Amino acid sequence: MAKLLLEAVGLRLNRGQRLLLDVGRLAVYAGERIGLIGENGAGKTTLLRILAGELAPDEGTVRRMAPAAMIHQQGTADTGGDPAVEALFRAQESREGLSGGEMTRNRIAGALSSNPELLMADEPTTDLDREGLAVLRRQLEAFSGAILLVSHDRALLRRLCTRIWYLEDGKITDFPGGYDAFTAERERQRERAAFEYEQYREEKKRLKESVQQMAERASQVRKAPSRMGNSEARLHKREWTDSVLQLSHAKRTIQNRLERLEVKEKPRALPEIRMKLGVACPVEAKTVLEFRCDTLQAGDRTLLRGASFTLPTGSRTALIGPNGCGKTTLLRVLTGQAGEGVRLRGKVRFNPAARIGWFDQHHEGTLDMERTVLENVLRDSPHPVHFARTVMACLGIAGDDVFKPVGLLSGGERAKTALGRLLLTDCNTLLLDEPTNHLDLFTMEELERLLAGYGGTLLFVSHDEEFIRKTATRIVRFPEEGEGGFGVFEGGWEEMTRPAAPARAEEDRRLALSRLEMRLAILSARLSAPKKGDRPEDLQAEYLRLAAEIRELKAGGI
C-alpha cells in the first residue's frame, strides 16, 4: 500500500456567521495527483493553507508525515534555492518591475527547491507564458512525490490529475478519475437532478389537482329535499353522509401523500442572455485600430522595433508572448495609460466611433468598495437591472449576492464584478489584460461563452490555452527580444499550432529528460546521505545508467 503523506480529520472553519469548511477526513498518499476544484470563495486556498500548516482550523487535526511545500498564488519569493531548478524556471532576484509571470516562476522554483514529497500548488500557472507553462507541466509530470493542485488551467488538470476533490458548501466530494471524468459525472448528476425535479413538480401538481377535485365533488353531494318523507330523508342522509365521508377520507389520503412527498430542489441553471453585448454603438468601418511602432521603450529596454498590427472590426484577438516581453505595457499604451519611462515612437489610431473599455490586471481601482455589486455594474451601463443581473448570474454572482458591498467580496468575486461592469457598458471595443486570473473554472467557461458571442471587437492578453482557443478568432504574437514584427494568425489557435508534430516530439524528449534529471538529483542526494537499507553500489550503478541516458538524449537534440 502507498505511503500516507497527509491526513486531515474533522476540519471545521468559520468565517463570521458562515461555516466555510466542514471536512470529515482527507488523505493524500504517495504518488497521487489530486485536483482541488470549487467556485470562487468556496475556500480552496484556505483549505490548502490549513493542510500546509499555515493556518489553524477552528476544529480538527492535520498530520503531515512527509516534507511538504506550497506554491502560493501571490507574493514574492527570494532566490537562493537549488540553482538547477532556478535556472530551469529562469528565476530572478526579487526587485521592482518583475512581471506577474516572473514572480510566479520565482515562487515555483522556491517550492521545488526544497525537494518535497508533497507539493501543494495554488494556481501555479498564474501569468505564466507558453514556455513557462511547458516547463511547469514537464516538472509536475516528472515529480516523484504527490501533488495537490488548485488550478483553472483545464489542460493542466486533464494532463496531470487522477483524482478530483470538489469543494462545495464547505464539504469535499471525492471523484475518482481525471478532470474529464469529473465534468462528465457532474453533468450526469445535473441531468438526474433536473429529471427528479421535473418528476417531483408533476407529481405535486397532480396531487394538488386531485385534492381540489375531491373538495369540489364533496361540495356537489346534494342534501335531502325539504319535502321528502322522514324515512326517505333518513335514507338519503345516510347515503349523503357515506359519500361525504368517503370523499373526505380520499382527500386526506391524497393530502398525506402530498405532505410526505420528498421535496426536490430546482437545479441551478444559468439564465439565457437574449441580448447581444457590445452592439449598442457599432463601428461601421472595417478596422477599429491601427498600431505602428518604430520603437517602444520602457526605461532602458526596447520592447518593440519596427512592428505594427491592426484590429479588424468584430474580431476577437489574443495578444500572446513570453513573460516580461511587454504585453501589458503595450495595452496600456493603446489605452493612453503608459507609465513613467514608457516611450513610443509611432502611431496609435483608433476609429473615431470606437468606444474603448479597459480591464486591468489590477482592476480593483475601477470598483467602489462601499457600493454593492449591482450598483457598481450599473454605474455606467445603459442596460436595465434585470439584464445586468442576468449577466452577473452567468459570471457566478446571482440572487441576493448582487446586493453585497464589493469590499466584502473575495478577489475572484471582485474580478467578476469588474468584468461584469465592463461588459455592461456601451463600449464596442474591449481591451482585457489577463481577464481569467482569479476566476474559478465554471466562471471561466461562462466568460468564454459571453466573449465568444460579443458583438464588438476584443483584444485580450491571456496565457490560458483553452480560453484562447475557445474565444480568439485571430492571434497576434509578440516578437521576441523586441525585434521584428508581430506574428499574426488569422485562423486563431489552430492555425498557429498546426505545424506541431516536430514540436510534440521535442516536448516528449524534454519530458523524458526532466524525469531523468529529477531522478538523478534524488539519487545524488541518496548517495550523499544513504538511508537505512540502501545499497550504495546499486545506487551508483543506477546513477551512471541515468547519466548515460541523459547524455544520449541531449546528444539527440535536446
Contacts for 16-23 with beta carbons within 8 Å, 24 or more apart? 19/170, 20/46, 20/170, 21/46, 21/47, 21/50, 21/57, 21/170, 22/170, 22/171, 23/47, 23/60, 23/170, 23/171, 23/172
Contact at 8 Å (CB) between 195 and 268?
Answer: no
In this prediction, residue 149 has a pLDDT band, given cuts at 50, 70 and 90, of: very high
- What pLDDT does residue 51 have? 94
Amino acid (1-letter code) at residue 442: F
Residues 123-141: pLDDT tens digits?
A: 998 888 888 888 899 899 9
- What pLDDT does residue 54 have? 92
pLDDT exceeds 80 at position 351: yes
Amino acid (1-letter code) at residue 444: M
In this prediction, residue 240 has a pLDDT band, given cuts at 50, 70 and 90, of: low
Candidates 224, 274, 481; CA nearest to 386 is: 274
Scored b (16 or more CB within 10 A) or e, 349-379 reads: ebbeebbbbbbbbebeebbeeebbbbebbbe
Q: What is the pTM of this model?
A: 0.68
Cell of 300: 532602458
pLDDT exceeds 60 at position 284: yes
Residues 362-392: pLDDT tens digits?
A: 777 788 999 999 999 999 888 889 889 988 8
Distance set, CA 222 to CA 18, 226, 238, 243, 395 (Å): 59, 12, 12, 10, 60
- What pLDDT does residue 35 have? 94
40 or 384: whose pLDDT is higher? 384
What mean pLDDT do residues 79-92 have?
Answer: 80
d(CA 139, CA 88): 10
Residues 437-471: pLDDT tens digits?
A: 878 888 888 888 888 888 899 999 988 888 998 89
Cell of 227: 319535502
Amino acid (1-letter code) at residue 36: L
80 or 223: whose pLDDT is higher? 80
pLDDT exceeds 50 at position 41: yes
Angle at 540 (CA atoms; ends 535, 546), nearest 5 degrees: 130
224 or 484: whose pLDDT is higher? 484
Whole-number percent of the chain with pLDDT over 70? 86
